[in-house]
Amino acid sequence: MKDALKPRPKQHNVEMIWNIIGYDNVLLKAKSVIDNSEKVLFIAAAENEMPHFIDSLIGVEKNGVDVFYLTTSRQPYPLKNVFRHEAEGTEKKVSDLGNFTAIVSDHKEVFLGSLFQDTRKQSHAIWTQNALIIRITEEYILHEIHVTHIFDKFRTQLNAEFGPNLAKIRRKLGELYFSQD
Domains of the chain, by residue range, sit at 15-178
Question: What are the residues facing 127 on neighbouring strands?
Answer: 18, 111
- Contact criterion met (CB below 8 Å) for 48 and 99: yes
Residues in the chain with pLDDT < 50? 91, 179-181
Q: pTM for the complete prediction?
A: 0.82
- Contact criterion met (CB below 8 Å) for 82 and 71: yes
Domain 15-178: top CATH class: alpha beta
Task: Report the pLDDT value the prediction gives residue 133, as an integer from 0 to 100.
Answer: 96
Task: Report the pLDDT value the prediction gives residue 116, as an integer from 0 to 100.
Answer: 83
